């Protein structure tokens, strides 16, 4: 019983009536209450996972495996324009501070890594970039400006690490950073106005063409370029082998690929929890399994381990799953925290790359993360390390060596690197459009990936309905713009679905404005924490007491920035530590000018009374006594320094009553600054 009464609405209000445990009826109207449609009954029945898999068919992985493709776009200003904009260049944190003091940012500045990147290692280059990013974010005068980070091609692993870090800075602080890859600094400077106007966060300039990265579905592997099969009689070495993901790979290569010799490497070896049981389990499957304690980043130790692999079962496969996390927002990172993550990921991969170059490998698989591709709030160091792995795989392939870097999205399988994630962390990931891979899906993707001719693949299960909604709202990640499209409106354009927050506030009576904004803040706090409604949020409880950390604080700031269109500081939650105080701050920032003017005029008598009745001792505490006395002298006061305190206060009270409040405050502040 579906009926359509009108068409062309761009926003709907839907009333649901539950007529049974699995039956819902609908009444649909537009925002003005005009009936649009009705549905007599929608019947919902449970569907088993097996039915979904069968319906998806064998091509389900087409929405899981992706490659990165650079697509040409046109800028509003041609790259070849001869005028070079006077946009300042910063090369150190001190330069950033000086720029902030000067106030001459022109809305942007550049950080040029093209010369520095040549001989610098990944950690050195990333640490230098981190210092610039942190300096940029801590200068209030630069809150309205963007830092354009100019680098050589991110095909260089060290440069790729910088891109991973800055991508995370972009995720944490939208519209504050732009990445540009170029081999010609002058071309980049000429293109800066068009780059800044494009709204693209990542671009590459190649022979006067402008390219942007987009995720595309990977072409199915096959044919002569497909990877070789694993050698059943050879040895497969798995780093992080006693961890959850390493153990999954070990079982898989034994059971599915028939590999008879496996070396599981971890820092603790058989002392790792469950390592002995895992060895015995795998041995029972018919394989020769060795658990070795070794720091893979230690070249000498790793060379000795490889030398111990028997000649009768030579090393034919490497799977690098090892990794350590040390999560923190970009402003909380430091070189030591970079090293914590880089050593087991980056340094170990370089050792494996060097020591296996002369071996006849059929697979060299690096477990990377989609954090390096997209940027991941709270994981700048981890994103940098994984972006390095992706570029390393590209470099090996270019040299004719086997290599595949799989940039994984989320796994449902808990591991040492994901066990710390709480419910709010998982909900945040799902809000971004990601869905966790099951172990079966992950292992099937693993097999497809290392056989694929592409050196880097993103393995991420996406929720396209969520991403479609983000695209409609204009908030979908730039890398996904090629996969997600919005439908073209065919009806007469209408007013947006709802008024902007400032308009709603202006339409609210002054007496209810604070309550209105408090409801908004509590709703967004609840969504950030994964609560069902704002009613679960205590308006006067501290953010730190209800589960907020620096990462959630950044997420809430970004949501409120989008709602209010204000440029809000990263320290917003810490400066206004309860929902009510935050709402009051937003009220002051959003309050219509007419209301503000009315309030000042209406409270002038109150200001006069407060100033006139303030004890002189209080003016002395605030350092304003000298200012007030100077003002008295200007008015021709003949009050002597030896006059009684009561007479001084009476004279100053008379003066305050004669002067306008605006004049008094302005002159007092000016005199105070000049002292």
Higher pLDDT pick, 254 / 85: 254
Lowest mean pLDDT among 184-198, 405-419, 537-551, 621-635: 621-635
pLDDT in tens, 424-445: 555 555 666 778 888 898 999 9
Cβ–Cβ under 8 Å, residues 265 and 279 = no
- Cα–Cα distance between 664 and 627 in angstroms, integer? 10
Distances (CA, A) of 316 to 122, 313, 367, 399, 402: 28, 8, 17, 18, 11
Distances (CA, A) of 429 to 371, 422, 426, 432, 466: 11, 11, 5, 5, 12
Predicted confidence (pLDDT) at residue 661 exceeds the cutoff of 60:
no
Lowest mean pLDDT among 344-358, 472-486, 580-594, 637-651: 637-651
Beta strand 177-181 with 202-206 is parallel
Give the residue carrying structure tokens 């950044």.
554
Give the residue carrying structure tokens 């991508």.
167
Cβ–Cβ under 8 Å, residues 599 and 590 = no
Beta bridge partners of 366: 320, 405
DSSP assignment string, 332-348: G--HHHHHHHHIIIIIH
Lowest mean pLDDT among 46-60, 363-377, 469-483: 46-60
pLDDT in tens, 216-251: 998 754 444 455 789 999 999 999 999 999 999 999
Stretch 624-643: mean pLDDT: 54
Write down the pLDDT at residue 323.
92
Stretch 67-79: mean pLDDT: 80
Phi, psi angles (nearest 5°) of residue 242: -95, 0
Helix (H, G, I), strand (E, B) or coil at 42: strand
Neighbours of 658 (CB within 10 A): 9
Q: Which of 18-22, 38-42, 221-225, 644-648 holds the top average pLDDT?
A: 38-42
Tell me the pLDDT of the chain averaged across its residues.
Answer: 82
- Cα–Cα distance between 162 and 391 in angstroms, integer? 12
Beta-carbon-side half-sphere exposure of residue 648 (alpha carbons within 13 Å): 18
Beta strand 434-435 with 23-29 is unpaired
Beta bridge partners of 637: none
Write down the pLDDT at residue 470.
78
- Cα–Cα distance between 501 and 506 in angstroms, integer? 9
Among the listed residues 123, 187, 121, 117, the one whose alpha carbon sits nearest the alpha carbon of residue 153: 117
**% of the chain exceeding 90 in pLDDT:** 50
pLDDT in tens, 588-605: 888 755 344 444 444 455
Cβ–Cβ under 8 Å, residues 148 and 180 = yes
Write down the pLDDT at residue 655.
45
Can you list the positions of beta strands (E) in 347-403? 363-369
Stretch 507-531: mean pLDDT: 88
- Assigned token pair, 11: 């926003």
Write down the pLDDT at residue 379.
93
- Cα–Cα distance between 406 and 67 in angstroms, integer? 10
Stretch 172-200: mean pLDDT: 89
Beta-carbon-side half-sphere exposure of residue 15 (alpha carbons within 13 Å): 12
Cβ–Cβ under 8 Å, residues 403 and 450 = no
Stretch 64-86: mean pLDDT: 75
Cβ–Cβ under 8 Å, residues 322 and 345 = yes
Among the listed residues 358, 355, 382, the one whose alpha carbon sits nearest the alpha carbon of residue 370: 382
Lowest mean pLDDT among 271-275, 339-343, 665-669: 665-669
Number of residues assigned to the chain: 675
Confidence of residue 105 (pLDDT cuts 50, 70, 90): low
Burial-class residue 637 by CB neighbours within 10 Å (0-12, 13-18, 19+): middle
CA 583, 586, 588, 591 torsion-angle sign? negative
Among the listed residues 85, 88, 89, 114, the one whose alpha carbon sits nearest the alpha carbon of residue 192: 85
- Assigned token pair, 240: 């992080």
Beta-carbon-side half-sphere exposure of residue 8 (alpha carbons within 13 Å): 7
Beta-carbon-side half-sphere exposure of residue 64 (alpha carbons within 13 Å): 25
| Cα dihedral 239/243/249/252 (nearest 10) | 140
- Assigned token pair, 453: 């001719």
Write down the pLDDT at residue 127.
96
HEC states along 557-607?
Answer: HHHHHHHHCCCCCCCHHHHCCCHHHHHHHHHHHHCCHHHHHHHHHHCHHHH
Higher pLDDT pick, 632 / 307: 307
- Assigned token pair, 287: 């394989």
Confidence of residue 79 (pLDDT cuts 50, 70, 90): low
Angle, helix 661-674 to helix 625-634, in steps of 10 degrees: 120
- Please, which residues have CB within 8 angstroms of residue 22's CB and are 6 or more apart in sequence? 43, 44, 45
pLDDT in tens, 382-411: 999 999 999 999 999 999 999 999 999 888
262-278 burial, b at 16+ Cβ within 10 Å, e below that, comes to: bbbbbbebeebeebeeb
Write down the pLDDT at residue 131.
96
DSSP assignment string, 257-297: T---EEEEEESSGGGSTTHHHHHHHHHHTT-EEEEEE--TT
Helix (H, G, I), strand (E, B) or coil at 5: coil
Helix (H, G, I), strand (E, B) or coil at 655: helix
Write down the pLDDT at residue 503.
81
Cβ–Cβ under 8 Å, residues 363 and 314 = no
**% of the chain exceeding 70 in pLDDT:** 78
- Assigned token pair, 223: 């044919």
pTM (whole model) above 0.85:
no
């Amino acid at each position: 019983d579906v009926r359509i009464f009108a068409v062309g609405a761009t926003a709907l209000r839907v009333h649901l009536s539950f007529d049974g445990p699995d039956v819902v009826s609908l009444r649909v109207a537009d925002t003005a209450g005009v009936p649009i449609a009705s549905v007599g009954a929608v019947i919902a029945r449970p569907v088993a996972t097996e039915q979904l898999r069968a319906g998806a068919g064998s091509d389900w992985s087409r929405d899981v495996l992706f490659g990165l493709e650079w697509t040409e776009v046109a800028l509003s200003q041609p790259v070849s324009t001869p005028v070079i904009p006077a946009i300042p260049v910063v090369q150190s944190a001190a330069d950033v501070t000086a720029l902030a003091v000067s106030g001459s940012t022109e809305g942007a500045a550049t950080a040029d890594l093209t010369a520095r990147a040549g001989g610098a290692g990944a950690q050195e280059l990333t640490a230098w970039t981190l210092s610039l990013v942190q300096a940029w974010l801590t200068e209030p005068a630069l809150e309205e400006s963007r830092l354009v980070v100019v680098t050589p091609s991110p095909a260089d692993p060290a440069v790729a690490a910088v891109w991973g870090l800055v991508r995370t800075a972009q995720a944490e602080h939208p519209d504050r950073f732009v990445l540009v890859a170029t081999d010609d600094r002058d071309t980049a400077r000429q293109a800066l106005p068009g780059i800044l106007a494009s709204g693209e966060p990542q671009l590459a300039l190649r022979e006067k063409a402008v390219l942007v990265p987009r995720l595309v579905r990977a072409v199915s592997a096959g044919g002569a370029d497909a990877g070789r099969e694993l050698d059943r009689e050879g040895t497969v070495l798995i780093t992080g082998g006693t961890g959850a993901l390493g153990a999954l790979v070990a079982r898989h290569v034994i059971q599915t690929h028939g590999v008879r010799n496996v070396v599981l490497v971890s820092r603790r070896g058989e002392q790792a929890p469950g390592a002995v049981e895992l060895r015995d389990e795998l041995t029972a499957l018919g394989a020769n399994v060795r658990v070795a304690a070794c720091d893979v980043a230690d070249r000498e130790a790793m060379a000795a381990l490889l030398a111990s692999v028997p000649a009768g079962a030579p090393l034919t496969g490497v799977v690098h799953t090892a990794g350590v996390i040390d999560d923190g927002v970009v402003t909380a990172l430091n070189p030591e925290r970079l090293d914590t993550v880089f050593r087991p990921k980056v340094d170990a991969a370089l050792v494996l790359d060097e020591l296996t170059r002369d071996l006849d490998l059929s697979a060299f698989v690096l477990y990377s993360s989609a954090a390096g591709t997209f940027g991941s709030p709270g994981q700048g160091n981890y994103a940098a390390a994984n972006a390095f792995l992706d570029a390393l795989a590209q470099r090996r392939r270019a040299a004719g060596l086997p290599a595949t870097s799989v940039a994984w999205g989320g796994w449902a399988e808990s591991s040492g690197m994901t066990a710390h994630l709480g419910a709010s962390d998982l909900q945040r990931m799902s809000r971004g459009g990601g869905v966790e891979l099951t172990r079966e899906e992950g292992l099937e993707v693993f097999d497809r990936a290392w056989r694929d001719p592409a050196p880097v693949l993103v393995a991420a299960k996406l929720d396209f309905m969520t991403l479609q909604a983000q695209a409609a709202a204009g908030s979908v990640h730039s890398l996904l713009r090629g996969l997600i499209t919005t439908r073209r409106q065919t009806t007469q354009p209408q007013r947006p679905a709802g008024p902007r927050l400032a308009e709603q506030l202006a339409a609210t009576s002054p007496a209810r404005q604070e309550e209105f904004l408090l409801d908004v803040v509590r709703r967004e706090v609840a969504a950030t924490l994964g609560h069902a409604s704002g009613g679960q949020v205590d308006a006067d409880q501290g953010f730190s007491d209800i589960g907020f950390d620096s990462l959630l604080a950044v997420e809430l700031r970004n949501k409120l920035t989008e709602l209010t269109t204000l440029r809000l500081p990263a320290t917003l939650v810490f400066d206004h530590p309860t929902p009510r105080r935050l709402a009051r701050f937003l009220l002051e920032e959003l309050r219509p000018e007419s209301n503000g003017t009315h309030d000042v005029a209406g409270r002038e008598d109150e200001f006069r009374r407060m100033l006139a009745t303030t004890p002189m001792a209080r003016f002395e505490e605030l350092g304003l006594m000298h200012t007030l006395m100077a003002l008295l002298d200007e008015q021709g006061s003949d009050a002597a320094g030896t006059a009684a305190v009561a007479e001084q206060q009476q004279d100053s009270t008379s003066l305050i009553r004669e002067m306008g409040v605006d004049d008094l405050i302005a002159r007092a502040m000016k005199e105070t600054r000049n002292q």
